[in-house]
Amino acid sequence: MADMTSTADAPRSPGRPRSIRADEAIIEATLDLLAEGSTIEALSIEAIATRAGVGKATIYRRWAGKDALLLDALRRLKGVMAQPAGHSVRDDLVLLVGAIGKNVDPRAAKIMPCLAPAVNRSADQFQLYQNIISPRRQLMREVLRRGIDEGVLRADIDVEVTMALLTGPMLIQRVLQWNPDLDEQSLPERVVDAVLEGIQVR
C-alpha cells in the first residue's frame, strides 16, 4: 500500500511511498548538482544528501556508493532504451541510430558532454561510461548478428567496426554539431542506408 512506509512524524502524502520519493529526490539532487557544474570527481554523497534533504545513511541503504548512484542517475538522463521490433534490420538500425546521443532530460545537454574529459581522467569514470553505453551497444550488435543469421547482411562483415560506423556520425553530429551541412533529422536513415550499402547481401 502506498503509505505503508510513512511514519507518524511525517505528513501523510498521497501517491508514492516515502522510500520511492526519497530515491527520486536523491537522483534529482545528483542530476541537479551535475547540471549546475559540479564535476563527477567533486560531487560528494554529503552534498547530494544535503540537496535531497535526506541523511547520508538513506543514500547508502539504497546504493553501494557514488558510482552506483551516478550510474542510475545518468541512465535516467537517457531514458528508456529503444527496443527494436525485430521485423526489419533496416528499421531496427534506424531506430537505434536515431536514439544515439538523444536524451530525455534537458539537464543532459549540460551533463553529458562533460563526461568526455572525465572518461579520460580515471578508470572509474571510464567504467561508469561503459556501464551506461554497453547495453545500448549490445542491442545494436544483436540486430547486426540477426541480420547475418537471416542472410540479410554478409557473414564476413566486421560487426564492431560496423557498429562504430553506425554510431560515430550520429554522436559527433548530436554532441559536437560536427558539420553544419548535415541535417540531423534525416541523418539516422541516411547513415543506415549508406552503411547497408556496404554490408548487405546483394
Choose among 97, 104, 103, 102: nearest CA to 187: 97
C-alpha span between 78 and 21 (Å, rounded): 20
DSSP bridge pairs for 200: 153
Closer CB to a second copy, residue 26 or residue 101?
101
Q: Is 125 in the site for a second copy (CB under 8 A)?
A: no
Nearer to a second copy (CB atom), residue 82 or residue 171: 171
Residue of 114, 132, 139, 152 interacting with a second copy (CB under 8 A): 114
The one among 21, 107, 146, 190 contacting a second copy by CB under 8 A: 190
- Asked if 33 and 51 count as a contact pair (C-beta separation under 8 A), the reply is yes
> 13 or 127, CB closer to a second copy?
127
- Of 42, 13, 39, 32, give the one whose Cα is nearest residue 76: 32
Nearer to a second copy, 14 or 180 (CB): 180
d(CA 146, CA 155) in angstroms, rounded, equals 11
**Site map (CB under 8 A) of a second copy, residues 127-146, x = contact:** --xx--x---x---------
C-alpha closest to that of 147 among 84, 194, 200, 85: 200
153 beta partners: 200
For a second copy, how many residues bind (rule: CB under 8 A)? 45
Residue 5 or 200 having the CB closest to a second copy: 200
User: Where does this chain bind a second copy (CB under 8 A)?
Assistant: 109-110, 113-114, 116-117, 119-120, 126, 129-130, 133, 137, 157-158, 160-165, 167-173, 175-182, 187, 190-191, 194-199
